[in-house]
Every structure is written in C-alpha cells, then in structure tokens.
Chain A
Amino acid sequence: MSERVLVDTQIWEYAWLEESRGPSTIHHQAAVFLSGLLADSDKEIWLGAYQAAEIMDVLRKAGLSAVARGELLDLLQAQCVCVDVGADVVFECIELSLRSGIHVYDYLVVVPLRGLVDVIYSADTHFHEDPAFRAIAPVVNPMTWEMREGHAPALRAE
C-alpha cells in the first residue's frame, strides 16, 4: 500500500526558488526531496484545497513564471490527492490558532488531513512545537534546514 504524505508549503516553495543570498543547499535539498517523492510510485502526495492555493500564491508572489506555475497546477490537480476544506475544519483551525498563538495557516495545511496521511514533512519549527500538529500524523523534517514565520530558512544546529 502506498505511503500517504503531506509536504508542507515551504518545501514546495524552495524546490522552485533559491534565495539570492541564502545557501544553495536549501533549494537543492527541497528539489531533490520533492523529485524523489514524485518519482516514487509507492508515495502519494496529499494536500488540502487551502494548501494548493497557498503553494500557488507564494510562488506567484515570489515571481515564478505563469508557465512554471501552470505546470505545477497540472501536477496538483492530476497527480496529487486533494482534500476538501469545509467550515468545520476552518473553525477548528481558528480555535487551535487562538489557543497556541501560531498563525491559522499552518493549521489549515494540516488539520484537513487528519486520519488521511501517514507522515507530515515540514521544516517549519511551529510543527515541532505544538503537539496539535503531531496529533494529525508524525512530523518529520527531512531537511538540514528549518524556518519560522517571518524569517529566512536557516541551517539547523547539530
């Protein structure tokens, strides 16, 4: 049976982008990791409908061409498994955010996938801080870097 995986938005983002003054390893690792998942027939990438919009829009704002974004949209629509996001989930996310102080968008990426994925791949430090994320599925950072809201990705301390 295929492994169902959720890939957090910053890994999608840095698979396409490189910060001009950042270490190239951040882009390289994200691109290699995502390519490996896409090439592995035993992996299924799952995402909520909100996250599809988040991925597409962060790449738009960063300046990725419409052609490249169109190719990615084809991938999200035809290759990945997409989950509807309804009002119940949105309000649960708002309440979780209210409790933790973490922005609601991180919860909107993860909570719709409750009971549906085997692992969450994320380099976001929030995902390792609030147990609410781990309650959805085990959280693994496959990168040697991490990032948090409003800051550039940084290599993790050994």
Chain B
Amino acid sequence: MAKRQSPEVTDLPAEVANLQPAAKRVPRARVYREVSPEERARIVERVLRRLAGPPLRVDSATLREAERDSV
C-alpha cells in the first residue's frame, strides 16, 4: 500500500532538516525477562494451576465494556 506524503515542513533547524529517514528496522524478538529454567517452570506451573481452577465469572455488560475497542 502506498505511503501517504508527509506535509511539507519548512524552517527546520539545519541539523533536523538534514536528518536522513530511519532505515526500516528488523523487528526485535526476545524473551523479555531472562530467568532460570527453575523459575520459568514455577511461573508456568502457577499459571497452569490458575487455568485449571475456577474461572472468574463476569457479567455480560462488564465483559462487553472490557472488550470494547480492542478485542
């Protein structure tokens, strides 16, 4: 899809006007927080226990409001 043109900008300071557009960056993917394998296993196990337990019951109006504009 074609990029729209930026509005013309004038009277920029020279150091700003001479800036080159940033190169398109390769997305950076990583596990955000490094932890030990034992700690990671504990984190996963805690969530698995939570998922195996009773869910939070939520009324429809609250859920639709929570989901609004994103989900």
Residues of A bordering B, CB below 8 Å: 9-10, 13, 15-22, 27, 31, 34-35, 38-39, 46, 54, 57-59, 61-65, 68, 71-72, 74-86, 88-89, 91-92, 95-96, 99, 103, 105, 112, 116, 124, 147, 149-150, 152
Q: Are A152 and B64 in contact (CB under 8 A)?
A: yes
A-B contact pairs, 9 of them (CB 8 A): A20-B60, A62-B56, A63-B62, A72-B47, A77-B33, A81-B31, A82-B29, A99-B1, A152-B64
Chain B at the A interface: SS class? mixed
CB of B67 within 8 Å of the partner chain: yes
CB of B14 within 8 Å of the partner chain: no
Q: Known contacts A20-B57, A31-B55: does B39 contact A68 (CB below 8 Å)?
A: no
Give the interface size bracket for B toward A.
35 or more
Chain A at the B interface: SS class? helix
Q: Provide the residues of chain B in CB contact with A9, threshold 8 Å.
A: 70-71
State in angstroms the CA–CA spacing of A9 and B32 once bound together.
19
State in angstroms the CA–CA spacing of A150 and B58 once bound together.
16
Q: Are A58 and B67 in contact (CB under 8 A)?
A: yes
Nearest chain B CB to A4's CB is how many angstroms away?
A: 9
